[in-house]
Chain A
Amino acid sequence: MAQLLSNEEEVLEAFDPSIAASRRFKHPIAVFFHMAFRSLAIVAYFMCSWAKASFVTSFVIIIVLLSMDFWTVKNITGRLLAGLRYWNYVDDAGNNHWIFESKKGTDKSTVSPIESNIFWLSLVFTILLWILLTITTLFSPTYIIITGAALALNVTNLYGFVRCKFGSNEKLSDEMKKTVFKSFLSRVTSGAGGNMPSSTDNEQQQSSAARTMFGP
């Protein structure tokens, strides 16, 4: 009897993703990595000052962890945990565009609220922590670079995602957004040296769109 019931739930979930989303973690690995890199960066910072490591060693370790955290949050966990994405696009005329996107409408229910809360809270909390650490290093000309860089990277991510959420790209008309996206995708797929065949498959487009979000 219990077996039957659980199968029913699964059947229901297949038709209504909001049930699955609200119930449990959809992306546990993403949540883990989201927390892992930023905690590691903070732990490394304290370890380096406790172990009296040289500035160069601590700088390299912390900056590596910070940049991995930045890249992960921007490209992977922002997309999966909160349904938000932002990227930069330079068109052929040399104009710079920043594009902020967020899931809308019924897609919004596929974003799990627990994960979304974890995402935002950890972002804000990390920034507060790094502000505190920056204040403690205000009078050291070298360590302030580390804390300053950490703060800058996290604030950039927070700003980008806040702009995604409280979207301010109404100024971009729909037509323009379409053409921007299409020309961006065609350049991405052709610029990949022909490795990825330019198909109109949904998956292909989404994964190729995710491709160039490495630029901080």
Chain B
Amino acid sequence: MDTSMEQDQVPFLSSSSHGIDMIEGEMSSSSNRTNQNGLSTLDEPVIDTIKRDLGAVFRKFGYAVIPRHSSTLLQQWDLWGPLILVTTLAILLQSSATKSSTGVQFAEVFTLMLIGSIAVTVNSQLLGGKISFFQSVCVLGYCLLPLLLSAFINNILLYIPTKSTIPILHIIRFLIVMTAFAWTMYASVRFLGQTQHPNRRMLVLYPIFLFYFLIAWLIILHAHPK
């Protein structure tokens, strides 16, 4: 009895217990009908779903910026944040003059993100940690937010005309990007470092360090506004 009571709260049945099929079927259809009444107006649940998902995405951004101990980023991963951040970063890093190579440059950032995530995942799994590809894409992507902000500031700074021989502007840009890089590293270390044995933490962090350093370097090298 307990089994069927629990199972009728799940409107979608995926079990194959044949003994009490009849009872399960009726109970779930009555509970499903009350669910249908609640879901019959598509507006309400869809808006709820959208609100929840949007809320989750923003919450993850919050965790990426101010790292707290939370399992949200790892256990309830989603790829919306990485998509938005990587696309925005790719747009900000455009600087080519010829039309044909803008596409290639745009794709560079995506390829970098993809290969970086694969490298981090494989490395982490080989070292005994349990992390899937999607989780590492999620963490690496969300923690990109500080670097994205620094790229944005970078682009704005490049519009300030400077005629002095001392490359003050470049020094400021370098410092800002390096600060963002350190912040990003700290955030992703707090999330990805959890999954590892303390002795192996440095080994796991090395590809993450390389990945973010590459992106930071791309940002610094973007010295000519389009």
- Give residues in A with beta carbon < 8 Å to B: 17, 27, 29-30, 54-56, 59-60, 63, 67, 71, 75-76, 80, 83, 85, 88, 90-96, 99-107, 110, 141-143, 145, 167, 169-170, 174, 177-178, 181-182, 187-188, 191-193, 195, 200, 202-203, 205-207, 210-212, 214-216
Q: Could you tell me if A215 and B79 are in contact, using CB atoms closer than 8 angstroms?
A: yes
- Check A101 against B12 for contact (C-beta < 8 Å): yes
Contact B6 A178 (CB under 8 A): yes
Tell which of A83, A211, A216 touches B49, judged by Cβ atoms closer than 8 Å.
Answer: A211
CA distance A127 to B72 in the complex (A): 33
Interface string of B50-84 (1 = CB under 8 A from A): 00110111010000000000011011111110010
20 other A-B residue contacts (CB within 8 Å) besides A96-B132, A167-B14:
A17-B29, A54-B102, A56-B102, A59-B106, A92-B71, A94-B195, A101-B12, A103-B13, A104-B12, A105-B25, A105-B28, A105-B29, A106-B28, A110-B29, A142-B106, A170-B16, A174-B17, A191-B71, A211-B53, A215-B78
Q: A101-B14, A107-B29 are in contact. Are A95 and B45 (CB under 8 A)?
A: no
Residue in A closest to B138 when the chains form the complex, CB atoms: A215
A181 B26 Cβ-Cβ under 8 A:
no
Residues of A within 8 A of B83 (CB): 63, 67
Query: In whole angstroms, what is the CA distance A105 to B7 when docked?
Result: 13
Answer yes or no: B3 CB below 8 A from chain A CBs.
yes
Cβ of A203 and Cβ of B35 under 8 Å apart? yes
- Give B contacts to A, CB under 8 Å: 3, 6-7, 9-17, 21, 24-26, 28-29, 31-36, 38-39, 42, 45-46, 48-49, 52-53, 55-57, 59, 71-72, 74-80, 83, 87, 90-91, 94, 99, 102-104, 106-107, 110, 129-132, 134-135, 138, 195
Quick one: closest A residue to B104, CB to CB? A142
- Assembled-state Cα–Cα distance A56/B87 (Å): 9
B158 → chain A closest CB, angstroms? 19
A174 to B16, CA, bound (A): 8
Known A-B contacts A56-B106, A95-B130, A96-B132; A210 and B45 likewise in contact (beta carbons under 8 Å): yes
Q: What are 25 A-B residue pairs whose CB atoms fall within 8 Å in the complex?
A: A17-B36, A56-B91, A56-B102, A56-B106, A59-B103, A63-B87, A71-B53, A76-B46, A80-B42, A94-B129, A96-B130, A101-B12, A101-B14, A102-B14, A104-B12, A107-B28, A107-B29, A110-B36, A142-B104, A174-B17, A191-B71, A205-B9, A206-B11, A210-B45, A215-B77
Residues of chain A with a CB closer than 8 A to B12's CB: 83, 85, 101-104, 107
User: For the complex, what is the distance from the CA of A103 to the CA of B32, rounded to whole Å?
Assistant: 10
| Contact across chains for A90 and B135 when beta carbons are under 8 A apart | yes
- Distance between B65 CB and nearest chain A CB, rounded to angstroms: 17
> Closest residue to B15 on the A side, CB-wise?
A174
**Residues from chain A with Cβ under 8 Å of B71 in the complex:** 92, 191
Given the known interface contacts A17-B29, A96-B132, A191-B76, the answer about A203 and B38 at a Cβ–Cβ threshold of 8 Å is yes
User: Which of B11, B21, B99, B107 neighbours the largest number of chain A CB atoms within 10 Å of its CB?
Assistant: B11
